[in-house]
Chain A
Amino acid sequence: MKKLFSRRNFLKGGLATTAAAAVLKNKETKASGDFEGYPDGMGVLVDLTRCVGCRSCEAACNKEQELPEPAKPFTDFSIFDEMHHGQKRRTDETAYTVVNRYDVPELDHPLFRKFQCNHCQEPACLTSCFVNAYTKTPEGAVIYNSKVCVGCRTCMIACPFYVPTFKYSSAFSPKIMKCVFCYDTRLKEGKAPACVEACPQEALTFGKRVDCIDMGRQRIRETPGKYVDHIYGEHEVGGTAWMYLSSVPFDKVGFDTHVPKEPIINSVKDFLAMVPMVLTIWPGLFVGFHLLATRKEKMMEMEKEKELAKQKATDEKEEQV
């Protein structure tokens, strides 16, 4: 049953019957929904045990992406104590990546976690966007086209990692802002992203996603006891290009361990499968109801007509007589 119902098939089926499908001559529609991931996609393995919270990656990203200068310099570590609504720092329109500090009771030193878009294999942002503003490139980056974005912010609702941020401060050219894997400036040419290159601790390792997984497994295997036996991002929401290794359970260092293991789009399937059914079944059903409901009236009308005709005939007869 699962096979029969693969997303690709059923989306095609769904589309064929969607009223809107008639106008779909757009080649790009391929990119939405039925993306399977690219075998040669790149990835980054983040090793939390190596990160020292120097914020070099933040600084490098800020420069590479030409983001505004922050209020406090990147050498100011007091920001690790900042809290907003009881939450640690998050990315926003001025920062595509942030590093946060986590004090774990059983360790004598804090852990740091770098956080940015995880560049999912089947991105929820992409599948939820109704103008196709997102693209998953063959290199593995999830990039965004601000020229077609309407600003509905559904992608922000859909992203399980709270990544896309909106430029609320602008009335005339707002847009979604998030890490783009340095796609235009580096990834396209096969180069490592700026943040990875800037890391002095080699906490970030850039490579093919499959190789990153291998490397992660190898590290777990070769240094027993150092890591928990899990690569965060290998399977989360269907797999992500950025993955993490940690020495403590992931929920202790700010990861959401409740995100589904399947791509987000899977939870929307029930509804999408229902759409073509309603489109095809409803018209027949309701016209049928209509005929049934109004039959009595019609019969009565017909009766009346017959009566009238009879009356007329008898009248005529009488006249003849």
Chain B
Amino acid sequence: MKLFSKERPDIPIVNHLKADGTEWTVKEKLWLGLSVSEYKKQFFRNPVNWLMIAIFAVGVPLIVGRYIFGLGWVTHASNDYPWGLFLGFGLFGMVPLSASGFMLGTTVELFGRKDFHAIERLALLNGLLGYFFAVLFLEVDLGMPWRLPYPMFVSLGPAAVLFLVAWHVATYLSVQIAEVLPAFFEWIGWLKGKRIIRKYVLGLTVAGIILSTLHQGALGALFTYAPAKVHPLWLSVNFQWIHFFCSSIFAGLSMVIIASTLIKNFMGWRCDDEFKDNLDYITIGLAKGASYAMITYLIIKIVAVAHDQEWSYLLTGWGSYYMLELGVAVVLPMFMFAIGIRNKWVTLIRFGAFIAAFGIIWNRLNTALICYNWQMYQEIPHWKEVWITITIYSLYFLTYRFIVYRLPIVYGWKGEK
């Protein structure tokens, strides 16, 4: 894409009008203003796409097989380990990394921090896609995927934590769609729709905070159903929901830092000056927010150990593993953020964000898989399970890129406002 964006003045599309004054059709916008053969050329020139093709070549048949031969064909999930990688990574890992939507929505719309405006849409999109794909992971994992709406409409068990998760994720997903729609409306040129949504932005944002607090917390609370199964260091019956909620804050912020870094480096042609010029400043701001959340998280983690009287566990092998997790996943990035903020070293912050995001996934996998049934035996995911997980994640990546290429996410739409 870089090639074309340099050579052709009307690409990338940021306006309804072509250079010669005629209007782009939606179809032309979809092809990024290229002819089909040009589009193909740019697609196959990109080595990332070849990697994707390789992943899908194996992954898609595996997914099809899962729906024909059953879950047992692709996973090691068992009667002792009902939740494997699909949920451990796809649901418990993806959802906190998608907390960026409500974080930035709140910052910009609610607290009126207009200086973060340039990244708001990216954060919203990151949130929306993260949730959407978490549901997709769920669809692979559910025994009866066709019954996804049952907890909503057919048979309700409102006293169950998962009921809250289901309802909140579903409603929040629609809130997020509404929040991302204005970008879409600008792109197709339907300004009325945008204005309608503008009116409800505050309501949507507040709804977003409520729903996020509750279901990020609820994901943690799910493990309180298994007080005797998860290792005590990873499960604090009283604080689990706060741990999950609080860590989702820096997870979401780190994830936007990562996404914006990747976009700036690999899609520079798509970003406008507002985005590019402000990004370093914004990244520092995001890191500030994240480090506050991290210090809070660290404190409540220690409070939980103290409250449950678990000091002696810290001296065991599991204890060392626990400290390793906290050290690498929280303390290290926290210091990187702190030093980065102080000296305005944005690159250090960006590395820190990568580590923090990895750390969150690690923590969720620890809770859901590695430290689950710690007294029994260790479950090792099946290779097909790993491959399917990577396949769906690649689909997530492609969708993300597809949208950022086109919609005004990291650039402002020119023309009628």
Contacts and interface: CB of A to CB of B under 8 A. Distances in A.
B221 interface: yes
A237 to B, nearest CB: 9
A157 B226 contact: yes
B126 interface: no
A129 interface: yes
A292 B377 CA distance: 54
B44 interface: no
Contacts of A154: 82, 160, 162, 222, 225
A61 interface: no
A248 interface: no
A75 interface: no
Contact of A149 (B143, B159, B164, B202): B143
B30 interface: no
A77 interface: no
A289 B163 CA distance: 30
Contacts of A24: 156, 158
Main secondary structure of the interface of B (DSSP, over half): helix
A130 B83 contact: no
Contact of A166 (B79, B157, B213): B79
Contact of A153 (B72, B82, B155, B156): B82
B331 interface: no
A129 B160 contact: yes
Contacts of A278: 210, 213-214
Interface stretch (B10-18, B104-112, B333-341): B104-112
Contacts of A293: 110-113
A208 interface: no
B142 A152 contact: yes
B158 A29 contact: yes
Interface string B323-337: 000000000000000
A260 B210 contact: no
A133 B83 CA distance: 19
A260 B228 contact: yes
B157 A130 contact: yes
A170 B70 contact: yes
A130 B227 contact: no
Interface string B41-75: 00000000000000000000000001111111101
A169 B70 contact: yes
Nearest to A279: B210
Given A129-B157, A162-B79, A162-B80, A150 B142 contact: yes
B160 A127 contact: yes
B225 A124 contact: yes
Contacts of B73: 171
B225 A287 contact: no
Given A268-B225, A270-B237, A150 B144 contact: yes
Interface in A227-267: 256, 258-260, 264, 267
A157 B206 contact: no
Given A29-B156, A168-B77, A268-B224, A151 B209 contact: no
10 contacts: A14-B159, A90-B80, A128-B162, A130-B163, A131-B151, A149-B144, A170-B70, A171-B67, A260-B228, A264-B227
Interface of B: 66-73, 75, 77-80, 82-83, 106, 109-113, 142-145, 147-148, 150-151, 154-167, 171, 202, 205-206, 209-210, 213-214, 217-218, 220-229, 237-238, 240-241, 376-377
Q: Which 6 A-B pairs have the closest CB atoms?
A: A151-B143, A33-B159, A168-B72, A153-B82, A271-B221, A158-B225
Given A21-B158, A279-B214, 12 more contacts: A19-B171, A29-B158, A128-B161, A153-B143, A157-B223, A157-B226, A157-B229, A160-B226, A166-B71, A260-B228, A282-B209, A293-B113
Interface of A: 11, 14-15, 18-21, 23-24, 26, 28-29, 32-34, 85-87, 90-92, 124, 127-133, 148-154, 156-158, 160, 162, 164-171, 174-175, 256, 258-260, 264, 267-268, 270-272, 274-275, 278-279, 282-283, 286-287, 289-290, 293-294, 297
